[in-house]
Structure formats: C-alpha cells, structure tokens
C-alpha cells in the first residue's frame, strides 16, 4: 500500500457521524458465544456498563464494487458506554466496535485494542478473516453557506448531480469509487447528496447531533481481507497496526472530496468536536 502523509488536522466542526471497526472472525469449533457474554461484561463493564440492542438490530453494511450490500449479524451481545456513544458487539462471526463521539484515531484504536484484549480472554478465536474501518460524514445542506453544495466539494463528487436537459437536477445522487490498495486491501467510497441519513438516529448508538436532510454524505470503507494472504491472529498489536494503515486512505479520500472553501467556512469554525 502506498504510504500517505498523516499530518492530519482535527477540524473543530467536523461532520463525522459514526466510525465503525469490524473484525470478521473464525471461532474455534464448539465455542459458545452466549456463554462468554457475562464474563466478558465483567471485564469491560467499567467502560461499557449498559446492555444494548442485540447485534442483528445494529448497524452493518458490507461493500462490494457495486455498492453497499446489507448483511445480518446473528445472535451475540452488545454493550454500550453510559452515554450510549460507544458500543461493542460480538457475534459468532464478528466483533464490531462503533462510536458516534469520535475524537482522534489513536483514541479509537486504543478502544478497539482494549476490547480485543478482553475478548481474547473469553473466546477462543482462531483467526481474523477481514478488518474493516468505516467513516461516515454527513453535512446538512442547510448548514452550508448559501445552502448549496457548489464550491464546497470536489467537482468529481458533484458530477452525478449535473442537470439533465428537460429533467433538471437529480434530487439525490451518489457516486461509488473503488480503490485497490494492494496486499488484499481496498477502499470503497460513496459520496453525494441524499434525502435520508445513513446513520439512523434510532439505532443502537445515541447520535449527539442527528443530521437534517437533505445532506451531502461521504462514506468511506477501507478493509483488509484474507484472499491471497493468510488470515491474521487475533492479537491487539497485529490488528491495530492494520487499522493504522487503513486509516490513512480513509483520511486521504475525505480530504480529496472536500475543498478549502468547506474547510475555511465550515469545518474550521468552532462547533461540535468530532
């Protein structure tokens, strides 16, 4: 994968609504996930004291080159922080860590690492087949100066919104781009104007600032999948190193999609830290 600069700026008024890390797991034969729920809770209750919705009621969308593919998470358990802005969900095939109160990647990676340490003590996990890192940014058009997307995003991300003679501009549009990153890694980005938030306000997490529609969305999923390379061990150091590599193209794609006009007139204004 190409090395990308990581001298990133933390915007005080960032539009980030949700960050999720999913580890697709291969458990040892006969492992009882339900039996691990109580002892795992004992390990993490200082950080995640609340029981949440079962994982199949939570947030998950897989990506293919053709776009998002909904997928169900079966069984398992979910625990949340007291303010319900962070969640850990465990099923027979996955571990998902999510937050709607993201500050910095290093903090999020540390959260994932602590959960890996705890879960590894309670479940015999043979390998990790996929690591996914997803960032969803939602910018209400009403919050943009002039209430227009013109000038705030890269022309390539607005191209699908061009007016058609006799029909006018589309009410909604999304472009999908897929980027091979090498070593069984790739990134998929969707960007465009939509009339429904991707991150639901009535989901498992509390969304501190729910989006009002219409809005412009930047939805990036970077992942490593064991295709031509062996699966990974379920170890904190190995997994967080891959996450750090996946984070770089997430940031690069976001910065490529926005303009200095958005940075100066919206993102750098004092507001909600995300």
Do 234 and 111 meet the contact criterion of CB atoms below 8 Å apart? no
Q: What angle do CA 252, 253, 257 make, to 5 degrees?
A: 115
pLDDT, one tens digit per residue, over 149-208 is 999 999 999 999 988 999 998 989 999 999 999 889 999 999 999 999 999 888 899 999
Return d(Cα 94, Cα 26) in angstroms, integer: 8
Q: Are 153 and 174 in contact (CB under 8 A)?
A: no
State the pTM of this model. 0.90
Q: Tell me the longest C-alpha to C-alpha distance in the chain.
A: 63
End-to-end CA distance of the chain: 27
Q: For residue 73, is pLDDT > 80? A: no
Buried-state track 150-186, b at ≥16 Cβ within 10 A, e below 16: eebbeeebbeebeeeeeeeeeeebbebbeeebeeebb
Q: What is the pLDDT of residue 271?
A: 54
Domain residues of the chain, as ranges? 16-267
């Amino acid at each position: 994968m190409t090395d990308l600069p990581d001298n990133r700026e933390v915007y005080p008024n960032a539009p980030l609504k949700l960050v999720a890390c999913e580890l697709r797991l291969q458990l040892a034969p006969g492992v009882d996930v339900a039996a691990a729920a109580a002892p795992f809770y004992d390990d993490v209750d200082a950080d995640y004291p609340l029981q949440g919705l079962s994982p199949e009621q939570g947030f998950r969308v897989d990506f293919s080159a053709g776009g998002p593919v909904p997928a169900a998470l079966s069984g398992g358990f979910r625990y949340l922080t007291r303010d319900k802005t962070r969640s850990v969900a465990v099923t027979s095939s996955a571990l998902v860590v999510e937050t709607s109160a993201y500050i910095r990647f290093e903090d999020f990676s540390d959260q994932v690492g602590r959960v890996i340490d705890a879960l590894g003590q309670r479940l015999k996990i043979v390998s990790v087949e996929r690591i996914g890192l997803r960032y969803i940014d939602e910018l209400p058009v009403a919050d943009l100066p002039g209430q227009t997307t013109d000038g705030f995003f890269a022309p390539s991300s607005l191209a699908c919104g061009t007016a058609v003679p006799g029909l006018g501009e589309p009410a909604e549009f999304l472009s999908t781009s897929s980027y091979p990153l090498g070593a069984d890694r790739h990134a998929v980005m969707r960007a465009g104007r939509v009339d429904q938030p991707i991150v639901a306000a009535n989901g498992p997490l509390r969304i501190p600032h729910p989006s009002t529609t219409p809005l412009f969305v930047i939805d990036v999923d970077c992942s490593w999948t064991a295709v031509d390379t062996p699966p990974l061990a379920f170890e904190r150091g190995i997994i967080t190193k891959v996450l750090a590599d996946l984070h770089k193209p997430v940031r690069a794609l976001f910065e490529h999609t926005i303009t200095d006009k958005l940075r100066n007139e919206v993102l750098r204004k004092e507001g909600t830290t995300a």
